[in-house]
């Protein structure tokens, strides 16, 4: 049972307990430190709680059986998330290195795990900051009344509104045309859209200034970026509950459908969501915990962080669905009123002849009495369930559904500013962990010289990243963001997580790891941790990975485009990817995943050739 | 003889009524949605309101065709429904049996649309002239886009922050250099993250991080 692969020279590569005690006493070394425990906890909370908690978890919760989804989510939080979290915290705190340093210290062949973490953090950071740029654009545009997404522009001869806007809606038009100017396919670049370039510049400079001295500046910024979202969510909760229809939204969210628990995709989605929510395998958490004092109680931290993440997800979901319920009720009421108006106009009935309460009866009566007139009228079917379930995840939630709901609230600019400031803070705090996971490995790998001051490292990283991000400033940018989101942030993270667990448990040695924890926090981890680290968590991650690969391989690669000329407009059209996209997908998903075995093999070859030349 | 006079009278009265009928070629249908617009403060539509409408329309015709003295009697209304819709036609003051052209009526209404709406406390959407599309208000477009102002503020703050961060260690170093000439002791005023803060005392390099790394 205690399978440990041979790992010679481990003791030479890692600091011994005496070294750690001495380093603690002398406070030697130029390694950064947290000012206080609160800063560390807030940074980790900010890292874990990101935009996905607002726009991914509520959708999953509602579509996989509402309240019943909390059962697999919380179970997997405890069985998969918490053990991996403690693993990353403990290994960082023990070996006192960033992600590359830690894996290199465990075994030089495993440096690939660190490299993979760095690549994944880089790719995710690129598209994540583009989302921040879009959020900033909306934030900057919220300081006016009326909000710019409430109005359609007039067409050329001033007789009507622009047809694209007329057929879809003002918020759709504002997002896809004014903000992004999207083309109809990923292959069609369409040139650079300069408002997005400007916002990308703003986004990267804000990140740069916040992280310019590493955690000593970002640790201060995090007091605002980690706490403000909770306050804003609270304000929105109170405001949301006073709006009409909010309770129908909450009911829709939490209505349990226990049958969904039998569906394996529910458990898979819950597992994947837990994995991504904890920002595991990005390398940032290892880095952050390596700045802790040696005897910091990381087990307590892991449990606290898991609890906070779980509760925040539920809290954010509740707030989101009060607003969605309000919007759906508004649209439903408008739909019914429009139908009543159409009927009254067609049959010249007095205005309050048909009310919302007798609408059904009146409609049926008219339909039976005048069967040849009524179908010719433009009577829309008003379906509350459909309205509650439309466009409620991802960018559609934030930029279309929420912006529309905000325009219907009195005092819209204030709510819009609050909402986008909250999203901005959520995104920025996640990006701090992200950029930590990129800059520290770059330093450890000697790609950036160690002698450079932290300011130069941050500056260079941000400038290079900004230039690469111009890819997303093209008119086809949104399709690239979706591509990155789907492929860079899924399979590689799962593979890295799996390798991490195997490396610590079977190569570093679970016995040695237990002793380390006993040295650091004073007692050995309980049987729960032993079982989860050795069997349950790796098994869960492996199952999710395999199922994900299988389903992806079976699906045809399609994506949604905004095409005013398509038949299904204003719904997005599903289009196949061009063939060269497979190369891009390989770069995004394949290279980070293969970095682990790839690096090991290349090192093996180098050592063999070294041995051969020295033997000669 | 008497029958002939009666028949003539009937015919002439019938002819006089003919100008206003539903789908008249020179008439317009009007639809009012008073309850939608005013809710609880809605007024009841009655003869007096109709009189006001005819008077307002006469005013609109007068304003548009300067010189022609339109009167309430020139606006003929018919086919009123409980929905509050009705048709109207406009007769010319110079020739009571002739109707004013549809196009002219439309222009007159467009010109005074705001005044007509205000007379009834309604808007373009709740006082509809079927066939006359309201002129759309162009969206508000300020001269300097407000987002540029906010962007400028944010970038200014960030720029100031960068300058402060980059300049402050240089200022501190200068101050330290001045103090160094007085004292031997070196303060570590800068934060630990910056490159290589050396301190007094023996630091055993054999335990430095570099040596722990096995060379790749």
pLDDT tens for chain B, 216 residues long, are 777 777 766 565 555 556 677 777 888 888 888 888 888 888 888 889 899 999 998 898 888 888 888 888 888 888 888 888 888 888 888 877 788 888 888 888 888 888 988 888 888 888 888 888 877 777 777 777 888 888 999 999 999 988 888 888 888 888 888 887 766 545 544 444 445 444 445 545 455 444 444 544
Choose the mutation target among A22, A153, A166, A455 for the interface with B, i.e. most B CBs under 10 Å.
A455
Spatial contact of A7 and A104, defined as CB atoms under 8 Å apart: no
Nearest CA distance, B193 vs chain A (angstrom) = 5
Distance, first Cα to last Cα, chain A: 43
Within an 8 Å CB–CB cutoff, is residue B48 touching chain A?
Answer: no
Spatial contact of A508 and A10, defined as CB atoms under 8 Å apart: yes
How far apart CA A612 and CA A607 sit, in angstroms, is 8
How far apart CA B47 and CA B55 sit, in angstroms, is 12
Per DSSP, the three-state class of A36 is coil
Nearest CA distance, A32 vs chain B (angstrom) = 5
Nearest chain B residue to A454 by CA: give it: B194
Q: B81 with B164, same domain? A: no
Cβ of B140 within 8 Å of Cβ of A31? The answer is: no
The mean pLDDT value for A10-32 works out to 79
Q: Which of B85, B161, B196 sits opposite A30 (nearest CB)?
A: B196
Would you say residue B6 lies in a domain? no
Per-residue DSSP letter, A114: H
Query: For residue range A33-83, what is the model confidence (pLDDT) as tens digits?
Result: 888 899 999 999 999 999 988 888 888 888 887 888 888 999 999 999 999
Query: Which of residues A467 and A188 earns the better pLDDT score?
Result: A467
The predicted pLDDT at position A123 comes to 93
Nearest CA distance, B159 vs chain A (angstrom) = 8
Spatial contact of A569 and A563, defined as CB atoms under 8 Å apart: yes
Q: B125 with B25, same domain? A: yes
The mean pLDDT value for A328-345 works out to 88
Query: For residue range A474-492, what is the model confidence (pLDDT) as tens digits?
Result: 999 999 998 998 888 788 8
Cβ of B197 within 8 Å of Cβ of A28? The answer is: no
How far apart CA A504 and CA A522 sit, in angstroms, is 20
Per-residue DSSP letter, B78: E
Cβ of B213 within 8 Å of Cβ of A101? The answer is: yes
The mean pLDDT value for A113-132 works out to 93
Q: B61 with B93, same domain? A: yes
The mean pLDDT value for A11-36 works out to 81
Which residues of chain B have a CB within 8 Å of the CB of A178?
none
- Structural domain ending residue among the three candidates B130, B155, B188: B130
Would you say residue B61 lies in a domain? yes
CA B74-B77-B81 angle, to 5 degrees, is: 170
Within an 8 Å CB–CB cutoff, is residue B191 touching chain A?
Answer: yes
Distances, alpha carbon A202 to alpha carbons A47, A178, A461, B145, in Å:
21, 19, 15, 17
Report the candidate in A87, A108, A154 with the shortest Cα–Cα distance to residue A9: A108
Question: Residue A161 phi/psi, 5° resolution?
Answer: -85, 160
Query: Which of residues A140 and A190 earns the better pLDDT score?
Result: A140
The predicted pLDDT at position A163 comes to 85
Give the β-pairing of B28-32 and A573-576. unpaired
The mean pLDDT value for A417-426 works out to 94
The pTM of the whole model exceeds 0.90: no
Q: B123 with B92, same domain? A: yes
Nearest CA distance, A414 vs chain B (angstrom) = 15
Highest mean pLDDT among A265-274, A417-426, B81-90: A417-426
The predicted pLDDT at position B215 comes to 47
Nearest CA distance, A84 vs chain B (angstrom) = 25
Q: What residues contact A264, with CB distance under 8 A and at least 6 apart?
A: A547
Q: Band the pLDDT of A463: cuts 50, 70, 90.
A: very high
Question: Is residue B215 packed enough to be buried (19+ CB in 10 Å), middle (13-18) or exposed (0-12)?
Answer: exposed
The predicted pLDDT at position B190 comes to 43
Cβ of B195 within 8 Å of Cβ of A451? The answer is: yes
Give the β-pairing of A558-561 and A573-576. antiparallel
User: Between A and B, how many residue pairs show a Cβ–Cβ distance under 8 A?
Assistant: 130
pLDDT above 70 (res A259): yes
The predicted pLDDT at position B80 comes to 85
Q: B82 with B44, same domain? A: yes
Share the mean pLDDT of chain A: 88
Cβ of B147 within 8 Å of Cβ of A349? The answer is: no
Choose the mutation target among B46, B79, B158 for the interface with A, i.e. most A CBs under 10 Å.
B158
Would you say residue B11 lies in a domain? no
The mean pLDDT value for A160-186 works out to 88
Would you say residue B9 lies in a domain? no
Distances, alpha carbon B202 to alpha carbons A17, A21, B82, B180, B195, in Å:
21, 17, 100, 20, 19
pLDDT above 70 (res A444): yes
Which residues of chain A have a CB within 8 Å of the CB of B36?
341, 351
Spatial contact of B203 and A22, defined as CB atoms under 8 Å apart: no
Q: Band the pLDDT of A204: cuts 50, 70, 90.
A: very high
Within an 8 Å CB–CB cutoff, is residue B138 touching chain A?
Answer: yes
Query: Which of residues B19 and A515 earns the better pLDDT score?
Result: A515
Task: Measure CA A300 to chain center.
Answer: 25
Within an 8 Å CB–CB cutoff, is residue B194 touching chain A?
Answer: yes
Question: E-assigned strands of A548-591?
Answer: 558-561, 573-576
Sign of the Cα pseudo-torsion (A440, A444, A445, A448, in order) = positive
Radius of gyration of chain A from its Cα atoms, rounded to whole angstroms? 27
Query: In terms of residue numbers, what domain contains B46?
Result: 17-130
Cβ of A341 within 8 Å of Cβ of B36? The answer is: yes
Report the candidate in A260, A284, A303, A301 with the shortest Cα–Cα distance to residue A532: A303
Report the candidate in A44, A428, A47, A471 with the shortest Cα–Cα distance to residue A203: A428
Query: Which of residues B169 and A238 earns the better pLDDT score?
Result: A238
How far apart CA B100 and CA B88 sit, in angstroms, is 11
Cβ of B207 within 8 Å of Cβ of A12? The answer is: no
Q: Which of A33, A139, A205 sits opposite B192 (nearest CB)?
A: A33
Would you say residue B141 lies in a domain? no
Q: B29 with B70, same domain? A: yes
Per DSSP, the three-state class of A603 is helix
Would you say residue B212 lies in a domain? no
Q: What CATH number corresponds to the domain at position B29?
A: 3.30.70
Cβ of A208 within 8 Å of Cβ of B162? The answer is: yes
Least confident of A21-25, A107-111, A387-391, A588-592: A387-391
Choose the mutation target among A12, A19, A21, A30 for the interface with B, i.e. most B CBs under 10 Å.
A30
Q: Which of B82, B135, B214 sits opposite A13 (nearest CB)?
A: B214
Which residues of chain B have a CB within 8 Å of the CB of A344?
83
Cβ of A198 within 8 Å of Cβ of B33? The answer is: no
Which residues of chain B have a CB within 8 Å of the CB of A146?
140
Q: What residues contact A594, with CB distance under 8 A and at least 6 apart?
A: none
Q: B153 with B125, same domain? A: no
Q: What residues contact B210, with CB distance under 8 A and at least 6 apart?
A: none
Which residues of chain A have a CB within 8 Å of the CB of B147?
137, 140-141, 143-144
Q: B108 with B154, same domain? A: no
Question: Residue A353 phi/psi, 5° resolution?
Answer: -65, -45
Cβ of B147 within 8 Å of Cβ of A141? The answer is: yes
Q: B42 with B112, same domain? A: yes
pLDDT above 80 (res A385): yes
Would you say residue B152 lies in a domain? yes
Cβ of B33 within 8 Å of Cβ of A453? The answer is: no
pLDDT above 50 (res A105): yes
Cβ of B36 within 8 Å of Cβ of A28? The answer is: no
ipTM for the predicted complex comes to 0.75
Q: B161 with B83, same domain? A: no
Q: B112 with B169, same domain? A: no
Q: B46 with B116, same domain? A: yes
The predicted pLDDT at position B194 comes to 46
Q: How many domains does chain B have?
A: 2
Would you say residue B211 lies in a domain? no
Distances, alpha carbon A99 to alpha carbons A286, A373, A458, A592, B6, in Å:
6, 71, 17, 14, 109
List beta partners, residue A561: A573
Cβ of B194 within 8 Å of Cβ of A137? The answer is: no
Choose the mutation target among B150, B163, B188, B208 for the interface with A, i.e. most A CBs under 10 Å.
B150
Within an 8 Å CB–CB cutoff, is residue B39 touching chain A?
Answer: no
How far apart CA A202 and CA A212 sit, in angstroms, is 15
Distance, first Cα to last Cα, chain B: 128
Dihedral, CA atoms, A576, A578, A583, A584, nearest 10 degrees? -70
How far apart CA A465 and CA A121 sit, in angstroms, is 12
Spell out a b/e string for A399-409, using b for 16 or more CB atoms within 10 Å of the CB, else e: bbbbbbbbbeb
The predicted pLDDT at position A28 comes to 59
């Amino acid at each position: 049972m205690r399978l440990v692969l041979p790992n010679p020279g481990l003791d030479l590569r890692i600091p011994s307990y005496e070294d750690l005690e001495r380093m603690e006493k002398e406070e030697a070394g130029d390694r950064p430190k947290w000012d206080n425990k609160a800063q560390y906890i807030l940074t980790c909370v900010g890292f874990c709680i990101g935009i996905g908690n607002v726009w991914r978890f509520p959708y999953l919760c509602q579509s996989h059986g509402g309240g019943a989804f909390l059962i697999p989510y919380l179970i997997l939080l405890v069985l998969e998330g918490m053990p991996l979290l403690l693993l990353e915290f403990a290994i960082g705190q023990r070996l006192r290195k960033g992600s590359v340093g830690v894996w290199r210290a465990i075994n030089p062949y495993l440096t690939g795990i660190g490299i993979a973490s760095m690549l994944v953090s880089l790719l995710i950071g690129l598209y994540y900051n583009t989302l921040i740029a879009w959020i900033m654009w909306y934030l900057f545009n919220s300081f006016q009344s009326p909000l710019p997404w409430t109005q359609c522009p007039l067409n050329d001869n001033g007789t009507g509104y622009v047809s694209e806007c007329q057929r879809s809606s003002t918020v759709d038009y504002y997002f896809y045309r004014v903000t992004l100017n999207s083309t109809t396919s990923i292959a069609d670049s369409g040139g650079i859209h300069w408002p997005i370039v400007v916002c990308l510049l703003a986004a990267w400079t804000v990140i740069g200034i916040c992280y310019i001295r590493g955690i000593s500046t970002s640790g201060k910024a995090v007091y605002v970026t980690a706490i403000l979202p909770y306050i804003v969510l609270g304000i929105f909760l109170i405001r949301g509950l006073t709006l009409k229809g909010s309770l129908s939204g909450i009911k829709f969210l939490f209505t349990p459908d226990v049958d969904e628990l039998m569906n394996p995709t529910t458990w898979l989605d819950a597992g994947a969501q837990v994995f991504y929510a904890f920002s595991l395998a990005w390398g940032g958490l290892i880095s952050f915990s390596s700045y802790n004092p040696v005897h910091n109680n990381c087990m307590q931290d892991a449990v606290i962080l898991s609890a906070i993440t779980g509760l925040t997800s539920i809290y954010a979901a509740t707030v989101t669905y009060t607003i969605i319920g309000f919007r759906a009720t508004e649209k439903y009421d408008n739909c019914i009123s429009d139908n009543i108006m159409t009927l009254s106009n067609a049959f010249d009935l007095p205005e309050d002849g048909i009310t919302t309460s007798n609408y059904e009866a009146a409609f049926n009566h008219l339909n039976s009495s005048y069967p040849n007139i009524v179908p010719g009228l433009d009577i829309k079917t008003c379906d509350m369930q459909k309205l509650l379930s439309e466009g409620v995840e991802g960018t559609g939630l934030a930029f279309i559904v929420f912006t529309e709901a905000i325009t219907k609230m009195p005092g819209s600019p204030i709510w819009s500013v609050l909402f986008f400031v909250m999203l901005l803070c959520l995104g920025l705090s996640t990006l701090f962990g992200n950029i930590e996971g990129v800059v520290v490995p770059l330093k450890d790998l000697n790609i950036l010289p160690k002698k450079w001051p932290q300011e130069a490292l941050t500056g260079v990283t941000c400038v290079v990243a900004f230039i690469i991000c111009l890819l997303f400033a093209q008119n086809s940018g949104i399709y690239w963001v979706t591509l990155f989101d789907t492929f860079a942030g899924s399979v590689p993270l799962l593979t890295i997580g799996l390798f991490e667990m195997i490396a610590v448990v079977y190569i570093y040695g679970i016995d040695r790891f237990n002793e380390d924890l006993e040295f650091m926090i004073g007692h050995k981890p309980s049987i729960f941790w032993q079982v989860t680290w050795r069997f349950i968590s790796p098994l869960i991650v492996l199952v999710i990975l395999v199922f994900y690969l299988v389903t992806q391989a079976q699906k045809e690669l399609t994506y949604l485009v905004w095409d005013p000329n398509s038949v299904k407009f204003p719904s997005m059209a599903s289009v196949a990817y061009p063939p060269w996209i497979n190369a891009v997908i390989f770069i995004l998903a394949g290279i980070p995943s293969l970095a682990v075995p790839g690096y090991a093999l290349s090192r093996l070859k180098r050592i063999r050739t070294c041995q051969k030349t020295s033997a000669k | 003889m008497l029958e002939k006079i009666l028949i003539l009278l009937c015919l002439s009265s019938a002819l006089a009524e003919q100008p206003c009928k539903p789908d008249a070629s020179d008439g317009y249908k009007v639809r009012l949605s008073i309850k939608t617009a005013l809710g609880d403060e809605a007024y009841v539509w009655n003869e007096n309101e109709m009189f006001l409408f005819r008077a307002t329309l006469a005013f609109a015709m007068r304003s548009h065709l300067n010189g022609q003295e339109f009167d309430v009697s020139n606006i003929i209304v018919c086919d009123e429904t409980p929905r509050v819709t009705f048709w109207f036609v406009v007769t010319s003051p110079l020739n009571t049996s002739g109707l004013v052209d549809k196009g002219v009526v439309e222009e007159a209404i467009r010109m005074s649309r705001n005044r007509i709406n205000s007379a009834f406390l309604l808007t373009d959407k709740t006082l509809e002239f079927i066939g006359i599309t309201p002129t759309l208000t162009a969206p508000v477009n300020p001269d300097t886009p407000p987002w540029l102002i906010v962007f400028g503020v944010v970038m200014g703050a960030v720029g100031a922050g960068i300058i402060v961060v980059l300049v402050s260690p240089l200022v501190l170093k200068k101050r330290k250099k001045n103090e160094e000439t007085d004292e031997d002791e070196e303060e570590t005023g800068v934060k630990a993250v910056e490159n290589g803060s050396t301190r007094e005392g023996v630091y055993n390099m054999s335990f430095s991080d570099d040596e722990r790394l096995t060379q790749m």
